[in-house]
């Protein structure tokens, strides 16, 4: 057994279940209350996935002012094309690991909480994973939510920009857009993907008159370079008044137990979070470009 394997072997199998950090982020909803399609063979499921009749869901949660305004139902979809070094939910990477949920079941679940959403100015947020991997399902749920008068929010990296049509964008009220880096080299190092689709999607949202909350994860030595932050700010400027604010999210190690449990080598094993001084510098950089920063 190699040195790397030996290191993972030392991680107790029950660590994830007992970890306080993990318990704090465990999704309260799980998948209770959703009905799974019965009797669908592989071909039927692929067809239903393409039409949006079903979606593969990892879990769901009810939270307040975390994934958009008010009290929200956040649905974590399975499947993601990126492999971010700091990913907090590597258990959502593979679509096949999710549970197939019918469109009807999802709409019924939203309707159940409709009064709560309206009373708190909340709504439905699709996150992941990468919710754009299942654009037909997500967009059909958003259409139904809009017909019920419920606020919609898409949490995305924008990497699958072309999967989302202009017609689909019309039913988005708010987008939590992850701008993970300001230059292609850093973006590739952080995610394994390319940056341009994120920029393209942000510009499409702005053109459609949609609101954007930009999210930027600050990792010392990885995304913290002054020039990289400046480039992120310049990208955000391209979205104009669509950007309501920028969330600078300090790196943390809450996701590490999941990487261990899944036996995936964790690239940021010994990485520390940003200092107050670094956070203040980055906040000031964005503010110098006229942005409200949290």
Residue 293 lies in a domain: no
Asked, for residue 292, whether it belongs to a domain, the answer is no
Provide the number of structural domains found in the chain.
1
SS (H, E, C) 137-190: HHHHHHHHHHHCCCEEEEEECCCCHHHCCHHHHCCCCEEEEECCCCCHHHHHHH
- Phi/psi for 152 (5° steps) reads -120, 145
Q: How confident is the model at residue 42 (pLDDT cuts 50, 70, 90)?
A: confident
Whether 266 contacts 273, CB under 8 Å: no
Question: Which of helix, strand or coil describes residue 125?
Answer: strand
Residue 294 is assigned to a structural domain of this protein: no
Confidence label for 44 from pLDDT (cuts 50, 70 and 90) = confident
Res. 184: pLDDT tops 90? yes
Is the pLDDT at 24 greater than 80, yes or no?
Answer: no
Mean pLDDT for 227-247 is 98
Mean pLDDT along residues 253-273: 96
The mean-pLDDT minimum among 59-68, 153-162, 257-266 falls in: 59-68
**Contact of 137 with 100, CB cutoff 8 Å:** no
Whether residue 174 contacts residue 153, with contact meaning beta carbons closer than 8 Å, is answered with yes
pLDDT of residue 30: 56
Domain residues for 131?
3-287
pLDDT band at 18 (very low <50, low <70, confident <90, very high): very low
Judge whether 231 and 183 are in contact, CB under 8 Å: yes
Q: Look at strands 151-156 and 211-218 and give their pairing.
A: unpaired
Confidence of residue 35 (pLDDT cuts 50, 70, 90): low
pLDDT, residue 37, reads 63
46 falls in which pLDDT band (50, 70, 90)?
confident
CB of 224 closer than 8 Å to CB of 278: yes
Query: pLDDT at position 45, please?
Result: 78
Asked whether the predicted pLDDT for residue 279 surpasses 90, the reply is yes
Taking only the tens place, the pLDDT of each residue in 105-151 is 999 999 999 999 999 999 999 999 999 999 999 999 999 999 999 99
Percent of the chain predicted with pLDDT > 90: 82
Mean pLDDT of 91-108: 94
Residue 56 has pLDDT above 90, yes or no: yes
Q: Which long-range contacts (CB under 8 A, 24 or more apart) does 141-146 make?
A: 141/55, 141/103, 141/106, 141/107, 141/110, 142/168, 142/171, 142/172, 143/171, 144/107, 144/110, 145/107, 145/110, 145/171, 146/171
**Average pLDDT estimate for 30-41:** 62
- Residue 154 forms part of a structural domain: yes
Q: Name the more confident of 30 and 50.
A: 50
Q: What is the pTM of this model?
A: 0.87
Q: What is the CATH number for 248?
A: 3.20.20.70
Task: Say yes or no to pLDDT of 243 above 50.
Answer: yes
For residue 20 the two structure tokens come to 């306080």
Q: Tell me the backbone φ, ψ of residue 141, rounded to 5 degrees.
A: -65, -40
Residue with structure tokens 């008010």? 70
- Per-residue pLDDT at 38: 56
> What secondary structure letter does DSSP report for 22?
H
pLDDT bin (cut points 50, 70, 90) of residue 10 is very low
């Amino acid at each position: 057994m190699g040195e790397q394997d030996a290191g993972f072997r030392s991680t107790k199998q029950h660590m994830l279940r007992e970890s306080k950090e993990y318990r704090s982020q465990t999704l309260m909803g799980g998948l209770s209350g959703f009905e799974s399609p019965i009797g669908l063979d592989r071909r039927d499921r692929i067809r239903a996935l393409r039409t949006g009749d079903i979606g593969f869901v990892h879990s769901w949660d009810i939270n307040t002012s975390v994934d958009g305004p008010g009290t929200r139902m956040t649905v974590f979809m399975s499947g993601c094309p990126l492999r971010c070094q700091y990913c907090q939910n590597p258990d959502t990477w593979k679509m096949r690991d999710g549970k197939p949920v019918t469109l009807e079941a999802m709409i019924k679940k939203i309707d159940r909480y409709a009064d709560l959403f309206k009373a708190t100015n909340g709504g439905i947020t699709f996150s992941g994973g990468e919710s754009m991997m299942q654009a037909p399902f997500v967009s059909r749920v958003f259409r139904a939510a809009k017909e019920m008068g419920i606020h919609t929010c898409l949490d995305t990296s924008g990497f699958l920009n072309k999967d989302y049509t202009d017609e689909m964008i019309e039913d988005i009220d708010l987008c939590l857009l992850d701008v993970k880096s300001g230059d292609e080299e850093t973006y590739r190092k952080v995610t394994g993907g390319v940056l341009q689709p994120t920029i393209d999607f942000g510009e499409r949202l702005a053109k459609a008159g949609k609101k954007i909350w930009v999210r930027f994860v600050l990792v010392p030595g990885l995304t913290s370079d002054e020039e990289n932050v400046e480039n992120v700010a310049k990208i955000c400027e391209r979205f104009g008044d669509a950007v309501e604010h920028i969330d600078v999210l300090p790196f943390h190690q809450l996701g590490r137990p999941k990487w261990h449990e899944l036996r995936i080598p964790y690239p940021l094993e010994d990485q520390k979070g940003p200092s107050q001084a670094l956070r203040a510098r980055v906040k000031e950089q964005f503010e110098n470009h006229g942005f409200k920063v949290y």
